[in-house]
Amino acid sequence: MTKIRMTPQSSGERTQRSGLLALGLLLGGVFQVGNAFAQSAPKPDWNTADIPSQAGRIFLVTGGTSGMGYEDAKALAGAGARVVIAARNPARGEAAIARIREAHPVAQVAFEAVDLADLASVRALGARLNTTLPRLDGLINNAAIMAPPERTTSADGFEAQLATNYLGHFALTAEVLPLLRKSDAARVVTLSSIAAARGRIDFDDLQSERAYDPYAAYAQSKLAGLMFAFELQRRSEAEGWGIQSFAAHPGVAVTELIERGPGLDSAFGRNWARDRDQYHSPAQGALSTLYAATAVEAQAGQYYGPAGDDERRGPLGLATVPAAARDADTAARLWSVSEDLTGARFPSRKR
Ligand SMILES: NC(=O)c1ccc[n+]([C@@H]2O[C@H](COP(=O)([O-])OP(=O)(O)OC[C@H]3O[C@@H](n4cnc5c(N)ncnc54)[C@H](OP(=O)(O)O)[C@@H]3O)[C@@H](O)[C@H]2O)c1
């Protein structure tokens, strides 16, 4: 079984890692510093020009109407893939497709409506895709909302961030697993965040009913996504599903996430707006996901993100895995709770 590589945690180790990274750069990107590192680190200047041809491959990108998801869809379509963008708003979908076609006139890109905060909608999308697509070569679990000031609930009664960012993607992955298994090299990339490091899976109050802190609920949802990515890889290996699972985060990128979440006039929004010139563009933020989705050398079970400025921006690297995300027992419990909450079932030899 492939081991998930745990990146160093202490500041001393992190400093050492930065030093090793610099040394690697000096050596022209050839890493010879310990086997795991040598095998795992992406080329720091990897960019969309390095995406191998995706002709003949089919991708589903959730939240491809703006931000990183849009950039994922555009780059994948530009590399020859057939791309399905799944999000809520058909008008935003059509606008995204028009913009992609401006850049890539022969892009094969389509829109499918889905509300990830509504399990009936997720199941309906799964049913449509299972009848219309021959297979799926890539699923990018990207859509999210962040820190709405007031607690709201999904169509199924779940806290909205957990529902959208995590449970909807858990259910969607189960829905399209049959399509992914028809591919001979399917990849699932799940978006997390540096916020996951502040997250805790609170099984006693998973839906933030007792206490709602918008940022804690976001962090929990992003930690859940990260644990899901690792658990999906472990289960795929154990159950022989033949798919590869990756995690990625964009650092901090200037997208619609803040405006549509806490709002630009919130304390968080004002701080964010003050520093926005320093953050990644959505295209830069998308590189970690695109690397995980397409690079031949990307390794299943890894977590990719920018390597500079405490992973807020900078060249592509291995992301730090928060200690909580390494807890395989909690990940297994979360998986089981998620199956119960969503009714989604992944095939298991044990059942
Ligand atoms: N921006 C950052 O600095 C940052 C940092 C760390 C991690 N991330 C992660 O990066 C990913 C992309 O975020 P972004 O920053 O690009 O945000 P964004 O610009 O706000 O895009 C979010 C996308 O999610 C879709 N979406 C939201 N709720 C949905 C729902 N219920 N059902 C279906 N689609 C839904 C939206 O589409 P419609 O509104 O058209 O439905 C939109 O396309 C997220 O997973 C986020 O957590 C972002």
Let me know if residue 307 belongs to a domain.
Answer: yes
Let me know if residue 205 belongs to a domain.
Answer: yes
Task: Judge contact between 278 and 313, C-beta under 8 A.
Answer: yes
Let me know if residue 349 belongs to a domain.
Answer: no
Let me know if residue 324 belongs to a domain.
Answer: yes
Angle formed at CA 338 by CA 60 and CA 305, multiple of 5 degrees: 50
CB atoms within 10 A of CB 296: 7
| CA of residue 63 to ligand 1 center, whole Å | 6
Task: Judge contact between 332 and 231, C-beta under 8 A.
Answer: yes
Distance CA 224, CA 341 (A): 14
pTM: 0.91
- Of the pLDDT bands very low, low, confident and very high (cuts 50, 70, 90), residue 350 is confident
Tokens of 185: 């090299």
Question: Mind listing the pLDDT tens digit for each residue in 188-226?
Answer: 999 999 999 999 999 999 999 999 999 999 999 999 999
The catalytic residue among 70, 166, 218, 291 is: 218
Predicted pLDDT of residue 17: 34
Let me know if residue 210 belongs to a domain.
Answer: yes
61, 62, 65, 152: residue to mutate for ligand 1 pocket, most atoms within 8 A of CB: 65
Let me know if residue 3 belongs to a domain.
Answer: no
Alpha helices (runs of H) in the chain, residue ranges in sequence order: 11-26, 35-40, 67-78, 90-103, 119-132, 160-161, 168-181, 214-239, 267-274, 282-285, 287-294, 328-342
3-state secondary structure of 281: coil
Alpha helices (runs of H) in 148-251, residue ranges in sequence order: 160-161, 168-181, 214-239
* Number of structural domains the chain divides into: 1
Predicted pLDDT of residue 278: 94
218 is catalytic: yes
Let me know if residue 177 belongs to a domain.
Answer: yes
Average pLDDT, the chain: 90
CATH code for the domain of 129 = 3.40.50.720
Predicted pLDDT of residue 349: 84
Let me know if residue 96 belongs to a domain.
Answer: yes
| CA of residue 142 to ligand 1 center, whole Å | 6
Q: Whose CA is nearest to atom 36 of ligand 1?
A: 63
Q: Which domain holds residue 317?
A: 11-342
Question: Mind listing the pLDDT tens digit for each residue in 159-186?
Answer: 999 999 999 999 999 999 999 999 999 9
